[in-house]
């Protein structure tokens, strides 16, 4: 889908769907028999991934959302991120899986994990569709990883460039 820039597709719709279903199976196996899982999607980029992932889960779950100020981590060297919408679910003593679209510097994830840990979940893991290890500033655990990516700015499948391209079915680099 062309919306003004030249795009180079890195991951096709089919490659993404296969990976999401693989992750869903892995997560379902790991959490089988451990009660209700709280899936926490980070607004807004992760919503597309989180919804598709949730369709591939064979275990009971609650889907909730946390909103953070976008790009705060990029302009703030301390990685202080502002919560713009908090969870509706009390995650104390629950198994929590944080669903991220992309882990880049790791600053956002680092902040979110610290914040969620203060709420005393039973467990807290991370599922990220895309991982850019070359850009990491802070070491963060990624328990379930979709694809390792080169150091490029990607759009599509929920990821935007100035709010555009979220609806792209592929993941692409802007040229
Ligand atoms: P961090 O640098 O804190 O790991 O990444 C924070 C957020 O920046 C990600 O959740 C994502 O919303 C955004 N981001 C990082 N890299 C990219 C990218 O290549 N493309 C897009 N569209 N967003 C990105």
Q: Is residue 8 part of a domain?
A: no
Q: State how many domains the chain has.
A: 1
Q: Is residue 124 part of a domain?
A: yes
Q: What is the pLDDT of residues 139-166, one digit of tens each?
A: 999 999 999 999 999 999 999 999 999 9
Q: Is residue 101 part of a domain?
A: yes
For a mutational test of ligand 1's pocket, the pick from 98, 159, 167, i.e. the residue with the most ligand atoms closer than 8 A to its C-beta, is: 159
Q: What is the pLDDT of residues 69-99, one digit of tens each?
A: 855 445 556 666 789 999 999 999 999 999 9
Residues lining ligand 1, Cβ inside 6 A: 45, 73, 100-109, 153-155, 159-161
Q: Is residue 162 part of a domain?
A: no
Contacting residues for 60 by C-beta, under 8 A, at least 6 apart: 35, 36, 37
- Catalytic residue numbers, as ranges: 104
Q: Is residue 5 part of a domain?
A: no
Q: What is the pLDDT of residues 36-46, one digit of tens each?
A: 999 999 999 99
- Cα gap 136→66, rounded to integer Å: 22
Q: Is residue 3 part of a domain?
A: no
11 CA from centroid of ligand 1 (Å) = 17
Residue 148 and residue 129 in contact, taking contact as beta carbons nearer than 8 Å: no
The domain that contains 110 carries what CATH number? 3.40.50.2020
Q: Is residue 109 part of a domain?
A: yes
Structure tokens at 167: 């609806």
Q: Is residue 88 part of a domain?
A: yes
167 CA from centroid of ligand 1 (Å) = 16
pTM recorded for the entire structure: 0.93
Q: Atom 12 of ligand 1 has which residue's CA nearest to it?
A: 45
Structural domain that includes position 57 = 16-150
């Amino acid at each position: 889908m062309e919306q003004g820039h030249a795009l180079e597709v890195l991951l096709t719709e089919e490659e993404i769907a296969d990976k999401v279903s693989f992750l869903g199976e892995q997560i379902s196996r790991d959490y089988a028999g451990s009660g209700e899982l709280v899936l926490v999607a980070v607004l807004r980029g992760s919503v597309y991934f989180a919804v598709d992932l949730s369709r591939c889960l064979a275990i009971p779950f609650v889907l909730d959302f946390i909103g953070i100020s976008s790009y705060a981590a990029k302009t703030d060297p301390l990685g202080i991120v502002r919560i713009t919408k908090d969870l509706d679910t009390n995650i104390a003593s629950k198994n929590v899986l944080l669903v991220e679209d992309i882990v880049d510097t790791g600053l956002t994830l680092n902040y979110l994990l610290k914040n969620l840990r203060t709420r005393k979940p039973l467990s807290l893991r991370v599922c990220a569709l895309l991982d850019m290890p070359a850009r990491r500033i802070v070491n963060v655990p990624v328990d379930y990883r979709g694809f390792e990516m080169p150091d490029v700015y990607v759009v599509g499948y929920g990821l935007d460039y100035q709010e555009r391209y979220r609806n792209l079915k592929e993941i692409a680099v802007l040229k």
